Amino acid sequence: MAPVKVRKICCIGAGYVGGPTCAVIALKCPHITVTIVDLNKARVDAWNSPDFDLPIYEPGLEDVVRQARGKNLFFSTDVDKGIEEADLIFVSVNTPTKKSGVGAGFAADLNYVELATRRIAAVANSSKIVVEKSTVPCRTAESMRTILEANSKPNCRFDILSNPEFLAEGTAIQDLFAPDRVLIGSLQTPEGKDACEALRSVYANWVPSERILTVGLWSSELSKLAANAMLAQRISSINALSAICEATGANIDEVAYAVGKDSRVGPKFLRASVGFGGSCFQKDILNLVYLSESLHLPEVAAYWRQVVEMNEYQKRRFSKRVVDTLFNTITGKKIAVLGFAFKADTGDTRESAAITLIKNFQAEKAFVTIYDPQVPHAQIWEDLKEASPHLTLEQIQKQVTITSSAVEACNKAEAVVIATEWKEFREIDWQDIHSRMSKPAFLFDGRLLVDAEKLRTIGFKVTTIGRGEVL
């Protein structure tokens, strides 16, 4: 049996993974027709918008879509047509952490994966290669294969592959253009290897062969969780050290620089912050915790759980430092929070540290003003409401205001908290900001973003995470 020659690709799910990934595939493979399908009509309409007002902010994404859309890249709500016409189908749906039932708070909710799989089985009239693109627990492919085989039509064959994404939001397009590696997992059968070769040939249009790694199906699934867990572990480790730095007078930047010079360690992911966020790190670690517990490995589960607990501790510690510095109370005080996305160069707010900080400030009865250059106001309100389900939106809006500029957010504020490392916050006219604030004017840098000494000469009382400086 020869590998399938891929001419048409369908991607189920037009979110942060499926949209950018398949847009780049379309750009790099003009001979392949790529259709991205989603049941969310508003999202599809945004992908198709005449002015390219895309539903996702990612540097470089608009340019990719402009070059390919309408040529060999299409966005549609007709899921069935996309499935029927495709040779290869990416399943790139959301896999959030379960909120109820067995494994609540840790296990991945695979409802959308199962629904997509059942839809493929019901619609497909010819053999397909089905590719896990969503981040899923180990051996999810086995469940997908069981569903497909139990519901497939006569003479309809399905081969399952795992092709996890390793994108960093904010640099996703760059990561797709020049990936460290592309990982493809398959069953080690002749049919599985042929399916693997079919997908490998797609990526080979622009990715060097030595960067396309082919492994077993289960190894591929676990590799995604392992990579994110280890990256998050580094962040929690440096954040734990930042607390020691503040207590001893050491400088976390200097410590990280010295440690990063060790070739066995390296400098990446050693930048202290108020905490990591995003859709992957916490979800994948909790998934690993649940997997470890399911396999009766409590010590392993406890080890990985501590990475998440350290991240939550860092947020609480930073919030407390704001309160302690502002004379042990922020009741009735105005706190400006600059940044709401979980990191710069993305509009994604999932697990953002800013959400926790603002919730803590609300609990202390402060008034909070928020500015973020990319996150829609509606998304901010939705996140704050979810974080405080006991409060109505009207109650939240009595304490929280969203502004259209950093200057507006900081006007008459007693403290500024930098929660996201947007470049524009580094370039703010801080002299002007200081003149508009109540005095003394406090600034809390949770991202090691600004020049603390320069701001002190202006008149700010600056507190920087991971530095044991005295005001």
Cβ-contact 411, 331 below 8 angstroms: no
Q: Who wins on pLDDT, 307 or 469? A: 307
Q: Are residues 265 and 199 in the same domain?
A: no
> Mean pLDDT over residues 48-71, rounded?
96
227 part of a folded domain:
no
Does the annotation flag 281 for ligand binding?
Answer: yes
pLDDT band at 469 (very low <50, low <70, confident <90, very high): low
Confidence of residue 11 (pLDDT cuts 50, 70, 90): very high
The single residue of 11, 138, 280, 410 carrying the catalytic annotation is 280
- Alpha carbons 282 and 290: distance in angstroms, whole number: 12
Q: What are phi and psi of 108, to 5 degrees?
A: -80, 140
358 with 455, same domain: the answer is yes
Are 381 and 294 contained in the same domain?
A: yes
Neighbours of 25 (CB within 10 A): 23
434 lies in some domain: yes
How many CB atoms within 10 Å of residue 378?
Answer: 9
Please say which residue of 174, 207, 240 terminates a domain: 207
Average pLDDT over residues 158-163: 94
Q: Does residue 242 lie in a domain region?
A: no
pLDDT tens per residue, range 262-290: 999 999 999 999 999 987 899 899 989 99
What HEC string does 429-447 produce? CHHHHHHHCCCCCEEEECC
- Of 175, 207, 239, which marks where a domain is finished? 207
Does residue 156 belong to any structural domain of this protein?
yes
- Whether 73 has a pLDDT exceeding 80, the answer reads yes
The fraction of the chain above a pLDDT of 90, given in percent, is: 85
- Is residue 283 part of an annotated ligand binding site? yes
Token pair of 28 as six digits: 């790099």
The answer to the question of residue 217 being in a domain is no
Q: Are residues 127 and 21 in the same domain?
A: yes
Could you tell me which of 451, 456, 443, 360 has the C-alpha nearest to residue 400?
A: 360
Confidence (pLDDT) at 145: 85
**288 within domain boundaries:** yes
Mean pLDDT, residues 127-134 taken together: 92
Active site residue 11: no
Decide: helix, strand or coil at residue 9: strand
- Is residue 187 located within the same domain as residue 264? no
33 is an annotated ligand-binding site residue:
no
Query: Do both 302 and 413 map to the same domain?
Result: yes
The response to whether 57 counts as a known ligand-binding position is no
CATH assignment at residue 362: 3.40.50.720
List residues bridging with 10 in a β-sheet. Answer: 35, 89
Contacts of 421 by beta carbon, 8 Å cutoff, 6+ apart? 273, 339, 343, 344, 447, 449
* Residue 15 counted as an annotated binding residue: yes
Same domain, 295 and 191: no
Mean local confidence (pLDDT), 233-254:
95
Mean pLDDT computed over every residue of the chain: 94
The residues, any chain, with a CB within 8 Å of residue 396's CB and separated by 6 or more, are: 362, 381, 384, 385, 388
Residues 133 and 259 in one domain: no
Among 145-154, 168-177, 255-264, 376-385, the least confident range: 145-154
Per the structure, the count of domains in the chain is: 2
Q: What is the DSSP string of 312-332?
A: HHHHHHHHHHHHHHTTT--TT
Residue 225 counted as domain residue: no
pLDDT score of 470 more than 50:
no
Distance CA 123, CA 171 (A): 35
How do 158-162 and 182-186 pair as beta strands? antiparallel
Say whether 96 counts as a known binding-site residue: yes
Residue 471: its pLDDT value, please? 44
Q: Do 277 and 381 belong to one domain?
A: yes
pLDDT of residue 405: 98
Percent of the chain residues topping a pLDDT of 70: 98
Cis omega (within 30 of 0) for bond into 440: yes
348, 353, 355, 361: CA torsion to nearest 10: -160
Q: Are both 63 and 126 inside the same structural domain?
A: yes
Q: Same structural domain for residues 417 and 331?
A: yes
Query: Of the residues 207, 223, 241, which one is the last residue of a structural domain?
Result: 207
Expressed as residue numbers, the domain containing 162 is 8-207
The pLDDT of residue 136 is above 80: no
d(CA 469, CA 315): 19
Task: Give residue 311's pLDDT.
Answer: 96
Closest CA to 157 of 198, 110, 192: 192
Asked if residue 179 belongs to a domain, the reply is yes
Tens of pLDDT, residues 369-402: 999 999 999 999 999 999 999 999 999 999 999 9
pLDDT given for residue 146 in this prediction: 87
Least confident of 151-160, 306-315, 434-443: 151-160
- Per-residue pLDDT of 408-431, as tens digits, reads 999 999 999 999 999 999 999 999
Do 329 and 409 share a structural domain?
yes
Pick from 101-115, 117-131, 194-208: least confident = 101-115
Return the pLDDT at 129.
96
What tokens does 201 get? 């040939």
Q: How far apart are the first and last CA of the chain?
A: 72
- Integer CA distances (angstroms), 216 to 132, 156, 193, 196, 237, in order: 13, 23, 10, 10, 31
